[in-house]
Chains A and B, each alone.
Chain A
């Protein structure tokens, strides 16, 4: 009896985990199966012929899979760099530099935190269409250049930085920029790491906005590319489709497995997805 109550939680967790992981298992398994084996619904890897190279080759040749990934990297890094460059000084000013309008700006930040991106999509789309900027990297990145969440988070982290050190640095002739980036941000690196993970995961996986501004397949980020690929294949070749899904999912999953703590901290520090 004691043994049962001890192992029961593990048993329940194992059943749950099997359900959680089944899609990943099935995806990878199918991605290396031959087409004839697709109709074999056994969960066991009865490899009649290892068909990985062919499936992955087809995924990469049918659609520009490498291009999708490159687009994803460009867009995620572009967004992250601008977000950090604009949010860090603003957060520093909100935390440490009294200036007129500080209260108003903080109120605006809090208000903007409540507004989901999807509510701004329509006017931003019309603006980009009017300036003939649709189908550009800029269009994909622009709405995310300002992260009010980053401002909010960094302000929280910067506030606990001792004022005496800032004063001393000023007397030593440090410029405000040097204090902000060299001292205060350096003390808040865990927040920066967590935010970076949050931002990259969110934008690597985002479909809504790219679907609105991108119709050129060569500019598609991974999720939009996957959608186009799924429409091209339309169930004809599940091996290649699953190979494509594996390729697109792999970067975030691998990073997650390598830096589990950072990932969980980064993604769950907010529900603002």
Chain B
């Protein structure tokens, strides 16, 4: 009996083993291309970057030396980089609150409409899809002191024309204005998704509990329920604000001290070929972005945003 049973059991077991081995090998084979790319695009470059950051390597130089943390020390006493950090901070401090608040405001208003809803979505979302470099040249024209319509309106109202793009004092706020224009629709759509997921009966319950006017209901229901969305929108807006580059490249080219972090990094690394120093700047930039993007990714891991 048992002598017959052993081969009977062993065959399916071996087959199951084969199947498991096949799955295992397939798993390795299926991830191999992505894993190799991961090595080539992320892992090796990261190690090389960290290596550059502690040397005085210049692109094309034959020799370089280990300089320890000198590049980092230099960065924090470099007036240009410090100015770039400061400009990026000012830019972010305008884009984040306005981009988020106006995005929320637009979402609340659009959420209340029905037949016109798709029109508003298109109108507010259009700047998100449009090529920012091209739109920046349009803004340059719109804000032109003598032939731009914005200054024509300002003059018509009886004020002095504003030199948006040549007066260093208003240059960064002007770039931030364009940043808000670009990010608003993106945030609006994220908020709309958040608003759609709030159960309707919560509003009914709040009304019965005495939240009579819409403003009360906003603070009792909408605002707390939107909490996670708002956090996500703030983090996302902050990351894109830290990465501001296109508008600077087109509109100011870093003129009159208007470099931002990424633009300063671009100049050091790719225009001046100060590879070692730029690597240190990159790591500083990365450290700042990581604080935000880790939070963002953890959120993403819990719920993908559609």
Q: Name A residues whose Cβ lies closer than 8 Å to a Cβ of B.
A: 9-10, 12-13, 16-17, 19-24, 26-27, 30, 38-39, 41, 43, 85-87, 89-90, 92-94, 97-102, 105, 108-110, 112-116, 118-127, 129, 142-143, 145-146, 148, 151-153, 156, 170, 176, 180, 194, 201, 204-205, 207-208, 211-212, 222-224, 226-227, 230, 235, 238, 241-242, 244-246, 248-249, 252-253, 255-257, 260, 263-265, 267-273
Contact = CB atoms under 8 A, between A and B. Distances in A.
Nearest to B147: A39
A90 B34 contact: yes
Contacts, number: 302
B24 A16 contact: no
B106 A16 contact: yes
Interface in B174-208: 181, 184-186, 189-190, 193
A222 B102 CA distance: 30
12 contacts: A20-B184, A97-B23, A99-B23, A101-B28, A115-B286, A119-B283, A201-B129, A230-B250, A248-B131, A264-B121, A270-B300, A270-B305
Interface string B22-40: 1111111011011101100
Q: Tell me if A's interface is mostly helix, strand, loop or mixed.
A: helix
Contact of B270 (A21, A119, A212, A222): A212
Contacts of B80: none
Nearest to A224: B133
Interface string B46-64: 1011001000000100000
A10 B116 contact: yes
Nearest to B155: A41
B137 A245 contact: yes
A116 B149 contact: no
A113 B297 contact: yes
Contact of A257 (B122, B296, B297): B122
A271 B239 contact: yes
A264 B122 CA distance: 9
